[in-house]
């Protein structure tokens, strides 16, 4: 089995609804190890770089506003970014996160329990979790410097 690292962001709806602790509990219950954690100010550039592969989607501009906390009044666009490491970490975190669409996410997953679809069709789904090894490597390097992650 592969030892992987994966990037998690507690999205602005998660912070706004005070779900940070609960989300970390669920992540810790996977048995994976937290090896990076910091509050980050999500600049316009960071948001667009992070979601670059979705730039042609109709929901992209709303997604940039969402991840920068503009729908939840988040001060300084701050967000908690985490790196978890362990066997099959990417899939393990996606499993506790649940499906992208909160209406399709299994009840009991983070998104299934706490996600919502707004009247503007934005999926507010509490966390970001890297989706595959290529994305995970790119995203961890985008959000964290090497020396900010426990070796």
* List of residues contacting Mg ion (CB under 5 A): 131
Residue 125 contact partner, candidates ligand UDP, Mg ion, none, CB within 5 to 8 A by sort of partner: ligand UDP
Other Cβ atoms less than 10 A from the Cβ of 102: the count is 20
Least Cβ distance, residue 43 to Mg ion (angstroms): 19
Whether 128 is catalytic: yes
Question: How far is residue 134's CA from residue 141's CA, in Å, rounded to a whole number?
Answer: 11
Q: At what angle do helices 133-143 and 89-97 cross, to 10 degrees?
A: 90
Decide which of ligand UDP, Mg ion, none touches 50; Cβ closer than 5 to 8 Å per partner kind: none
Residues 92, 29: Cα–Cα separation, whole Å? 10
Among 16, 17, 59, 88, binds ligand UDP (CB under 6 A): 59
Q: Which of 21, 23, 39 is closest to 114 using CA atoms?
A: 23
- What span, in angstroms and rounded, lies between the C-alpha atoms of 135 and 129? 10
Query: Which of Mg ion, ligand UDP, none is residue 55 near (CB under 5 to 8 Å by kind)?
Result: none
Instruction: Out of 20, 88, 113, 122, point to the residue binding ligand UDP (CB under 6 A).
Output: 122
Closer residue to Mg ion, CB minimum distance, 31 or 104: 104
Among 30, 88, 113, 131, binds ligand UDP (CB under 6 A): 131
Instruction: Specify which residues 84 forms β-bridges with.
Output: 6, 34
Number of Cβ atoms within 10 Å of the Cβ of 28:
12
Contact residues toward ligand UDP (CB under 6 A) are: 54, 59, 63, 100, 122-123, 125, 128, 131
The residues annotated as belonging to the active site are 128
């Amino acid at each position: 089995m592969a030892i992987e690292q994966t990037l998690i962001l507690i999205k602005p709806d998660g912070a706004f609804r005070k779900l940070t602790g609960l989300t970390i509990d669920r992540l810790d219950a996977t048995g994976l190890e937290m090896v990076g954690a910091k509050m980050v100010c999500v600049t316009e550039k960071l948001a667009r770089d992070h979601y670059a592969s979705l730039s042609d989607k109709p929901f992209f501009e709303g997604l940039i506003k969402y991840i920068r906390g503009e729908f939840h009044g988040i001060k300084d666009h701050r967000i908690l970014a985490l790196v978890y490491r362990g066997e099959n970490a990417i899939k393990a975190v996606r499993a506790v996160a649940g499906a992208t669409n909160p209406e399709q996410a299994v009840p009991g997953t983070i998104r299934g329990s706490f996600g919502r679809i707004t009247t503007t069709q934005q999926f507010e789904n509490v966390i970001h979790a890297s989706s595959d090894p290529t994305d995970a490597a790119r995203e961890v390097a985008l959000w964290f410097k090497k020396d900010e992650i426990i070796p």
